[in-house]
Amino acid sequence: MVNNQNPSQIHVLDQATVNKIAAGEVVERPASVVKELVENAIDAGARSIRIDIVSSHNDIANVRISDDGCGMNPADTLLAFTPHATSKITRIDDLTHIRTLGFRGEALASIAAVSRVSLITRPRGTGVVHGTKVVVEGGVLQVTGEIGAPEGTTVLVEDLFFNTPARKKFQKSKNTEISHIHALLEGICLAHPEISFRLFVDQHEHLVTDRTPRMLDTIARIYGSDVVKELIPVNLSLPFITIVGYTSRPSLSRKDASRLIISINQRFVSSPLINGAIREGYRTLLPKERFPVAFLSLTIDTGLIDVNVHPTKKLVRLSREKEIVQAIQESVSTALLSHDLIPAVRTASHLPIAEPGENSIREPGMRYDLPEAVSSGTSESTHAGNVTTDRQLRQTELSTGNVPVGTKLPNMEVIGQLGGIYILTTTESGELILVDQHAAHERILYEQVLARTGGDHRSQELIVPVILHRTSQEASILLDLLPALAKAGFVLEEFGRDTFLVRAIPVVLGKLEDTTMIDEIISDLVSEEPSRTVNNRERITRVIACRGAVKAGTICTKEQCQRIVYQIRNTRNPFTCPHGRPTMLRFSRADLDAMFKRT
Ligand code: ADP
Ligand code: MG
């Protein structure tokens, strides 16, 4: 991106190249002017860029961008205002490997066509003592001449849209424009930590970053240390893509995607596709309606991205889109799941303060309703129950596919069980961690079923096949599900009209004494509305996990509790059940002390 050739050689592109360039207006609003001029400063290799916005009563009066980049010699300075004049590409072929932010050669010409532009520039490091000044108004050259100037370039844009009243009228309020500029610059600053940016609005400092090799410093400078504390580093390097950056713990989330800030090859872009991939990386770690905060910098082979699809280049087209999406999702989920994400329970007074005027939540991100209270079993039923529970737990210990990753969680020693629902555990550091036994076992089974799907050890034959009768409507739904059920380990065959024979069931369900569980699972599947977001495999897996898991209200022995805890610690995502409810909550000693006012 950095242009170190001094001075740059500007030339007018040939018609064939011009015809290949995505056409359209780039100067729609004041923020577009800022974007184009700041990008020119970055392409000029600036280390420091200053943006001054001066407002009048109800709109933006003028915009000034100053940089210490390579500058221009006198001949280039005039040429820079000619349409399709650029120093950044020469031939059509260059369009397939763009490394600069600009390449269309149109911004200065378009801006000067609808405003009064004064540009002062002096080439850097060439010994040229005088700068050049050019003033163009409504596309007409007004002034040109020598002037004393520092190295670098300053562009002042006044009277924007003076000759296009329609566009001027469509400007939103001054504050809306300023917030657009602010958001734009946040993205650009994060894509370029190596450049220092300063934004002033009516001489008040709005946004300042320092030159730094570390993106995290820039994040801290813009969003503060409260946000930084909640971030987890993301790193992935594949032959065609490198992903570095940060993504938030589930405890920091927002109601929209506005803080998913992405750059590709140091170009700040907006990509619903990438936003979707990041969210997918959270799977059930975030409730459906919440968005994480993430700052990702992607480096992708220039041959795989096409920035020439839209004149403003904020949208880019990606080849190998599927692999890129997959890589982003993987990088985010791997980063998250290698950390201890058990949400802390804190008293209200200990919740970190929300960002001013923000909709972020910092309290334990995942709220849920307590399961219905269940009466604890009587002593006889408890003994029988323990036997059943043993069977249920044993099956999930026969795990094959899953590689234990439990190291990210502290050791948890079982203290006891509460109400047949919660397992109380403690860690070496004296924390109290409560485990929802059903949710935890559901997660364990879920991962087991997924690991075995389609594999050799997925099903066990029933000694006596079970016969299921369904209504004809249910039967037709079930018929469609048979192949997916078989992959998960359920072997059913049609047995006369609206009747099915269950020959085998998933191994993870264990040896069933009571076959009503089979009926429950099938009933759940045929009665549930098919969902657009969850595919059949996922639905089946969730239902098997839910029905197969130890129920809330089951009294477990300490040893059984310890087995659940051992198993949940060894899942890939021990933090949430397949539906996204938490499996554990933590109370640190400090938080408990604070709640008891022992401080
Ligand atoms: P593009 O950026 O697509 O090349 P522009 O109209 O934005 O087109 O700029 C035209 C040319 O003017 C650039 O190619 C560059 O050579 C020169 N230029 C513009 N702004 C600057 C700047 N701040 N510093 C040095 N050169 C600049
Ligand atoms: Mg440009």
Strands 260-264 and 267-269: antiparallel
For 22-46, b/e burial (b = at least 16 CB within 10 A) is: eeeebbebbbbbbbbbbbbbbbbbb
* Inter-residue contact 231 to 277 (CB < 8 Å): no
Asked if residue 113 has its Cβ within 6 Å of ligand 1, the reply is no
* Inter-residue contact 30 to 85 (CB < 8 Å): no
Asked if residue 364 has its Cβ within 6 Å of ligand 1, the reply is no
* Inter-residue contact 469 to 413 (CB < 8 Å): no
Distance 69 CA to ligand 1 centre (A): 11
The position carrying tokens 């076959």 is 515
C-alpha separations of 598 from 19, 36, 348, 592 in Å: 74, 58, 16, 9
Asked if residue 434 has its Cβ within 6 Å of ligand 1, the reply is no
What's the mean pLDDT when you consider all of the chain? 87
Distance 390 CA to ligand 2 centre (A): 69
Residues contacting residue 129 through CB under 8 Å, at least 6 positions apart: none
Asked if residue 105 has its Cβ within 6 Å of ligand 1, the reply is yes
The residue whose CB lies within 8 Å of the most ligand 1 atoms, and thus the one to mutate among 20, 27, 40, is 40
Q: How much of the chain, in percent, has pLDDT values that exceed 90?
A: 62
Q: Name which residue sits closest to atom 25 of ligand 1, judged by CA.
A: 71
What is the pLDDT averaged over residues 234-254?
Answer: 95
pLDDT tens-digit profile of 97-139? Answer: 889 999 999 999 999 999 999 999 999 988 888 999 999 999 9
* Inter-residue contact 157 to 120 (CB < 8 Å): no
Asked if residue 44 has its Cβ within 6 Å of ligand 1, the reply is yes
Residue 298 pairs with which residues in a beta bridge? 243, 264
> What's the pTM?
0.81
Report angle CA 380, 442, 256 to the nearest 5 degrees: 140
**Least confident residue range of 9-18, 308-317, 437-446, 561-570:** 308-317
**Joined tokens for residue 595:** 């709640």
Distance 79 CA to ligand 1 centre (A): 10
C-alpha separations of 61 from 64, 159, 457 in Å: 10, 6, 72
Determine the residue type at 91: R
Q: Name which residue sits closest to atom 23 of ligand 1, judged by CA.
A: 41
- Cβ atoms < 10 Å from Cβ of 521: 23
Ligand 1 atom at minimum distance from 106 CA: 6
Distance 201 CA to ligand 2 centre (A): 23
Rounded Cα gap, residues 10 and 23, in angstroms: 20
Give yes or no for residue 338 having a pLDDT over 70.
yes
Q: How far out from the chain centre does Cα 575 lie?
A: 19
Q: What pLDDT, on a 0 to 100 scale, did the predictor assign at position 375? A: 34
Q: Is 213 exposed, middle or buried (0-12, 13-18, 19+ CB in 10 A)?
A: exposed
- The CA dihedral of 267, 271, 273, 278, to the nearest 10 degrees, is 70
Distance 169 CA to ligand 1 centre (A): 28
Ligand 1 atom at minimum distance from 65 CA: 23
Q: What pLDDT, on a 0 to 100 scale, did the predictor assign at position 356? A: 41
- Cβ atoms < 10 Å from Cβ of 209: 24
